[in-house]
Structure 1
Amino acid sequence: MSRRKTPARAAVPAAPRCTVTVCRGCCCGTPKIPGVDHAAQLAALKAALGPVAQVRVVNCLDACEHANVVVVQPSSAGREAGGRPVWLGLVNDPDATADIAAWVTGGGPGIAEAPPVLELYAFAPSRRVRRAVED
């Protein structure tokens, strides 16, 4: 029986600016998370970050127990400075959304210190889930 080798993944160059990935699939952005104006949350991120970061919406990040999930990926300069993607869960409050926007506007991972309150939202997803977003 022969084993198939998985092809090596090519290195993807870092984006020149931060990328903010917002989950809006299975649980995030749905009535399963009551009392949150999901459309307003996304609109606030896009309005605040449009000039400084790419905001992208994905169907499901497979971290449903942390809904609503937002991943902040560093810019190329942030990655060079040691910044790594930061996964934030339970982002269900307008103040958390504003804190994320302020941090990214200030440079994001590797460039600016995250507001201490965001440590309460940070979590580490499984490698399989993390690889799907960060590659």
Structure 2
Amino acid sequence: MSRRDRRTGAGSAAASPVTVTVCRGCCCGTQAKHPGVDHAGQYERLRTAVGSAGRVRAVNCLDVCTQSNVVVVGPSSEGRAAGGRPVWLGFVLMDEMIDDIAAWVHAGGPGLADPPGLLDLQLISVSRRVRESLAD
């Protein structure tokens, strides 16, 4: 048993993985706003690349339409304990960004690893109202 397993308990229900929330509402994920982007393909690519290292979910709207496509990378319970907080990314339109998000999840996500590649250029700031509307 690794030190991590002893600390959280192997298979502990209390431990939560890195969660990647992908906006797929009124603007994000639509051909009308971003023609030429394979939104469904990117979502499946992200789910496949993240695999069992985290959880990927789609939500209807994150209310940051001016910066679509929006993705939020939430820390694991271990990352949150280390000070990690959800990181909001905007304009996630290229496959390379999807690959970087998946690599970040595999590296531990917020609180445990810095965002790879050019993801730091995708960081967006959102209002407290918007942040709080995204339930953990």
State TM-score, norm by structure 1: 0.86
Aligned-pair CA distance for 1:134? 4.4
Contact 2:24 2:58 in 1 (8 A): yes
Partner of 2:78: 77
How big is each residue's C-alpha offset from its partner over 1:89-127, in whole Å with a ceiling of 9 and x where there is no partner? 000000011011101111000111211511110011111
Equivalent pairs, count: 122
Matches of 2:135 and 2:98, distance apart in 1:
21
Counterpart residue identity of residue 28, structure 1: C
14-23 vs 45-54, which deviates more?
14-23
1:56 to 1:15, Cα distance in 2 relative to 1, 3 A: farther
Classify the secondary structure of the residue corresponding to 2:118.
Answer: helix
Partner of 1:55: 56
How big is each residue's C-alpha offset from its partner over 1:50-97, in whole Å with a ceiling of 9 and x where there is no partner? 211111100000000111000000000000001110000000000011
Partner of 1:35: 36
Matches of 2:129 and 2:117, distance apart in 1:
27
Does structure 1 residue 113 correspond to structure 2 residue 98?
Answer: no
Matches of 1:74 and 1:106, distance apart in 2:
11
Counterpart residue identity of residue 29, structure 1: G
Which 4+ stretches in 1 moved above 2 angstroms? none
Matches of 2:37 and 2:121, distance apart in 1:
18
Contact 1:85 1:134 in 2 (8 A): no
Please provide the CA RMSD for this pair.
1.3
Classify the secondary structure of the residue corresponding to 1:33.
Answer: coil
Matches of 1:48 and 1:55, distance apart in 2:
10
How big is each residue's C-alpha offset from its partner over 1:8-37, in whole Å with a ceiling of 9 and x where there is no partner? xxxxxx852111000000100001111211
Does structure 1 residue 17 correspond to structure 2 residue 17?
Answer: yes
1:57 to 1:15, Cα distance in 2 relative to 1, 3 A: farther
Structure with the bigger percentage of helix: 2
Matches of 2:129 and 2:43, distance apart in 1:
26
Classify the secondary structure of the residue corresponding to 1:102.
Answer: helix
Matches of 1:116 and 1:38, distance apart in 2:
21
Partner of 1:128: 129
Q: Which runs of 5+ in 1 are unaligned?
A: 1-13
Partner of 1:44: 45
Q: Which runs of 5+ in 2 are unaligned?
A: 1-13
State TM-score, norm by structure 2: 0.85
Matches of 2:24 and 2:135, distance apart in 1:
17
